[in-house]
Copies of this chain bind each other. A is one copy, B any other.
Amino acid sequence: MQHTFRLVIDCPDQVGLVARVSQFLADHGGTIVEASHHTDLQTGRFFMRHEIGADSLRLNYDSFIEAFTPLANEFQMNWKLTDSRAKQRMALLASLESHCLVDLLHRWHTGELHCDIPVIIGNHPQMKQFADWYKVPFRWVDFKSLGKEQAFSQIETLLESYNIDLTVLARFMQILPDTLCQKLQGKAINIHHSFLPSFAGARPYQQAYDRGVKLIGATCHYVTKDLDEGPIIEQSVKRISHSDSAADMVRKGKDCEVNALAHGVRNHLEDRVIIHRNKTVVFA
């Protein structure tokens, strides 16, 4: 994997903006491995992601930050620079279903997902076996005996103590309290097992079965306090027919969940997703 810096920007659109950023990069010798632009014509907001060959630059990470800051301020940018070698710390929250958890662990194990996984948290103890295989610490937070409030307080403490950058709800069947949603804004990803906004809420496959749809799906989105309303990162669907029972749909839907979550997480980890109001720009 080539060593790169990723410069991700969003700001009000303006003539000359791209020129100034490109000139900055050129002035410091930066070769552009990948560049993506988008202007939201409705809101006049501009989005840009550059992946720059780190070895080509005559700046290191810190001096880049310092040198770029005046330009960023001039154009009122939200921006960040990330080093492709730096790994985000990702926590996985799981319950009783293993398919999403195991898929993410395997992709991480083979290097497809570039991150650290310092902890897996379960509201049931069953997922410990998979955590052990992959040598990831497993923490069981016993919702039953602790009660919901206490349990989430414990999770919050765990996320802090492990310095977690990204929290992934891999079919975690508990609704996060508003305060935690607020705190993890833009840093927590959930997989919902329907093609939202269809079948929000509980038991989406049963809802889909009852409605008689010909497609089922899954939605990977950021967690917000409005349940199942967060910015969508990725969706995946699959055809079904009258011959599929609700149980068949659960089984078939798992492939959608696994795919949507894996791609959503990967794009987030590579700084390809920018949240804009209740939507996302995904430079995939």
Chain A positions near chain B (C-beta within 8 angstroms): 13, 15-16, 18-19, 22-23, 25-26, 29-42, 56, 98-99, 102, 106, 110, 112, 133, 195-199, 211-215, 217, 231-235, 237, 241-243, 245, 251, 255, 259, 278-282, 284
Q: Are A18 and B29 in contact (CB under 8 A)?
A: no
| A110 to chain B: closest residue by CB | B98
Whole-angstrom CA separation of A30 from B278 in the bound complex: 30
Q: Are A25 and B19 in contact (CB under 8 A)?
A: yes
Q: Are A280 and B212 in contact (CB under 8 A)?
A: yes
Q: Are B56 and A32 in contact (CB under 8 A)?
A: no
Whole-angstrom CA separation of A235 from B32 in the bound complex: 29
| A22 to chain B: closest residue by CB | B19
Whole-angstrom CA separation of A234 from B106 in the bound complex: 24
Q: Are A33 and B39 in contact (CB under 8 A)?
A: yes
Given A106-B99, A195-B198, CB of A15 within 8 Å of CB of B35: no
A255 to chain B, nearest CB (A): 6
Residues of B within 8 A of A280 (CB): 212, 242
Given A26-B19, A99-B110, A255-B259, CB of A211 within 8 Å of CB of B197: yes
Whole-angstrom CA separation of A280 from B213 in the bound complex: 9
Please tell me how many copies of the chain the complex holds: 4
Partner of A112, one of B26, B237, B245, B251: B251
Residues of B within 8 A of A31 (CB): 13, 15
Q: Are A29 and B41 in contact (CB under 8 A)?
A: no
| A220 to chain B: closest residue by CB | B214
Whole-angstrom CA separation of A234 from B240 in the bound complex: 10
A164 to chain B, nearest CB (A): 25
Given A35-B37, A106-B99, CB of A232 within 8 Å of CB of B255: no
Whole-angstrom CA separation of A215 from B245 in the bound complex: 24
| A234 to chain B: closest residue by CB | B214
Whole-angstrom CA separation of A41 from B16 in the bound complex: 27
Residues of B within 8 A of A279 (CB): 211-212, 242
Partner of A30, one of B15, B98, B235, B251: B15
Q: What are the 6 A-B residue pairs with the smallest beta carbon separation, nearest first? A: A212-B279, A19-B22, A16-B26, A19-B23, A19-B26, A198-B198
Residues of B within 8 A of A197 (CB): 198-199, 211, 213
Can you list 5 contacts pairing A with B, beta carbon distance less than 8 Å? A32-B39, A98-B106, A197-B199, A212-B279, A214-B235
